[in-house]
Amino acid sequence: MTFPINSANLPTQWRFTHPTAFENFLGIVRGASLAVLIFIGWLDYITGYEFGFFIFYFIPVAIAAWYCGQKDGIWVAIASAICWYLSDRLTHHPYSRAYFIYWEMFMRFLSFLTTSTTLSKIRRMVLNEELLIAELLETRSKLEKHIGLVELTKDQ
């Protein structure tokens, strides 16, 4: 989804926090979010299961969902859950029941999925609001021109 570039929305359109800031570099953003995920998974693995890195897995999920959209956010959420599972499994985290690791992975996946869908929804709302503002400004401009023409004809 592209938006008209004009001087009114240039300051917000080119900030790096804007959802479309990297729309021409989505492949790089996807690669960066996966690289961050792999790095976090590696850190989680080398520190062992006693030092929890769960919260850091939200970073690549948020990057993908905000800059690339819902589909990419969901894929990174799935990859984050798998990465956490592998890290936990490879560090030989002892569970009282064998199936608890799957429950933990499912709960983490739901957390990542919730974050992904929430951020992508907010992203869509921001972009939709900007589109509505652009349409409103265009309509206002047309209305001002029309009112100006009406006043010109009344004066004559």
Quick: pLDDT tens for 1-40: 444 444 455 555 557 778 877 888 999 999 999 999 999 9
Residue 68 identity: C
Cα-Cα end-to-end distance for the chain:
45
**Whole-prediction pTM value?**
0.80
Looking at residue 17, its pLDDT comes to 79
Q: Calculate helix-pair angle for 58-68, 26-47, nearest 10 degrees.
A: 170
Residues 94, 89: Cα–Cα separation, whole Å: 9
pLDDT at 91 over 70: yes
Segment 113-142, tens digit of pLDDT: 999 999 999 999 999 999 999 999 999 988
The pair of three-digit structure tokens given for residue 79, joined into one six-digit string: 């990859």
pLDDT above 90: residue 144: no
Whether the Cβ atoms of residue 69 and residue 120 lie closer than 8 Å to each other: yes
State how far the Cα of 65 lies from the Cα of 77, in Å rounded to an integer: 9
Region 73-79 average pLDDT: 97
